[in-house]
């Protein structure tokens, strides 16, 4: 897509804009009644944890970066669990917890040298694998989603993408 990675100040400014929109900081960015939380905040989503990892590995730049990291080399399942727990903090945590985790992930990705960890298109791919997994899990184990629910969760997922450092310009 040709966009440069976000700088840390740009990322912080986007997180600050998202934070300003939150009506109840204790509920976090995704209140329990939100569609996005309904689809992705379920604890049993961990059952589907390998699905997004497989999708991520299907994208060559993401796969090259992921498999080059020491954490993945040591134990890919533990690395997947760490991703699950981190995204869980962003989805289910209060604003402080979610912001701390988003900052941690942003800094961790900027410290990965020689890969695509900060490439906007690659981050978008990883973000979308998590969204697709949430939808798949829900429709497989809970029930079908109405078109309005799919559209609503999509709108809410834009905040999730921004918390991962996806530039607003490329969020579909």
DSSP state of 169: G
C-alpha torsion angle, residues 27, 33, 37, 38 (rounded to 10):
150
What is the Cα–Cα distance from 13 to 115, expressed in whole angstroms?
Answer: 25
Determine the average pLDDT of the residues in 157-166: 90
Global pTM?
Answer: 0.82
Cβ(133)–Cβ(51) under 8 Å? yes
**How distant is the alpha carbon of residue 164 from its chain centre?**
6
What is the Cα–Cα distance from 36 to 48, expressed in whole angstroms?
Answer: 16
Determine the average pLDDT of the residues in 117-126: 85
Question: Considering the chain, what is the average pLDDT of its residues?
Answer: 83
Predicted pLDDT of residue 96 = 97
pLDDT band for position 11 (50/70/90)? very high
C-alpha torsion angle, residues 50, 52, 56, 57 (rounded to 10):
20
pLDDT tens digits, 24-62: 999 999 988 888 887 876 554 555 666 777 777 778 888
DSSP state of 21: T
């Amino acid at each position: 897509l040709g966009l440069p990675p976000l700088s840390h100040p740009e990322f912080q400014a986007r997180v600050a804009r998202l934070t300003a929109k939150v009506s109840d900081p204790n509920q976090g960015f995704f209140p329990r009644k939100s569609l996005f939380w309904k689809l992705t905040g379920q604890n049993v989503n961990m059952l589907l944890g390998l699905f997004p990892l497989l999708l991520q590995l299907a994208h060559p730049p993401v796969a090259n970066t992921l498999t080059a990291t020491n954490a993945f080399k040591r134990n890919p399942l533990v690395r997947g669990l760490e991703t699950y727990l981190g995204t869980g903090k962003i989805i289910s945590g209060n604003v402080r917890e979610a912001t701390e985790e988003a900052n941690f992930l942003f800094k961790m990705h900027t410290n990965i040298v020689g890969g695509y960890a900060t490439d906007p298109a690659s981050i978008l791919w990883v973000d979308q694998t998590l969204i697709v997994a949430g939808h798949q899990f829900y429709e497989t184990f809970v029930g079908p989603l109405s078109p309005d629910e799919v559209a609503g969760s999509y709108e809410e997922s834009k905040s999730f993408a921004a918390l991962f450092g996806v530039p607003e310009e490329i969020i579909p």
